[in-house]
Amino acid sequence: MGEVFDMYLTRLDFRDRRKRSTTARDDRFIQMSALRNRHLTAVSHRNELRRVRQVNVSLSTIRKRLYEAHLSARRPLKELELLLHHRRARLEFAQNHIDWTGEMRLMFCSRMTQNLIYCSLTAVYACGEGNMKGMQRVL
């Protein structure tokens, strides 16, 4: 009796599943398209699938297929625009601090790192490669 019930459950489970709107070939096309063009959105991938393979699917289907392949269809964050007053401030800072000695740079960087939880490598490089030993002592 248990075998019959198990067969019933497997058949019932199989019948209750919804048919996939894309084939394995369509899924592979979506994945390859995403790998070739990393910065395209899900809308672009859907339009390309519709144009090339004549398959009409929803955006959620595209996102699900990309998620299954451990990919995403998100655009990277745009950089903030560097405005004129930002450029002037950076130039003024550079001109004011062009004559700094290595010791002054180290002092400036050590004050900055005291306020930070951690010091990134870029901050270490900003202090100059010659002062990396001194920078490690500060940290």
Tens digits of per-residue pLDDT, 22-72?
999 999 999 999 999 888 889 999 999 999 999 999 999 999 999 999 988
Instruction: Round to whole Å and give the CA distance between 44 and 63.
Output: 12
Residue 73 has pLDDT above 80, yes or no: no
Q: What per-residue confidence (pLDDT) applies to 45?
A: 92
Tokens at 131, concatenated: 């002062």
* Averaged pLDDT of the chain: 75
CB 23 within 8 A of CB 53: no
> Quick check: is 80 in a domain?
no
Tokens at 3, concatenated: 């075998």
What length does the chain have?
A: 139
pLDDT band at 113 (very low <50, low <70, confident <90, very high): low
pLDDT band at 9 (very low <50, low <70, confident <90, very high): low
Residue among 62, 20, 60 at smallest CA distance from 45: 62
Instruction: Round to whole Å and give the CA distance between 55 and 22.
Output: 8
Q: Give me the number of domains the chain comprises.
A: 2
Domain that holds residue 131: 98-138
Instruction: Round to whole Å and give the CA distance between 49 and 52.
Output: 5
> Quick check: is 20 in a domain?
yes
Distances from the Cα of 47 to the Cα of 6, 28, 34, 43, 90, angstroms:
43, 15, 13, 6, 44
The more confident residue out of 137 and 10 is: 10
Q: What per-residue confidence (pLDDT) applies to 132?
A: 46
> Quick check: is 73 in a domain?
no
> Quick check: is 77 in a domain?
no
> Quick check: is 39 in a domain?
yes
Distances from the Cα of 98 to the Cα of 13, 47, 91, 101, 108, angstroms:
73, 53, 10, 9, 13
CB 30 within 8 A of CB 36: no
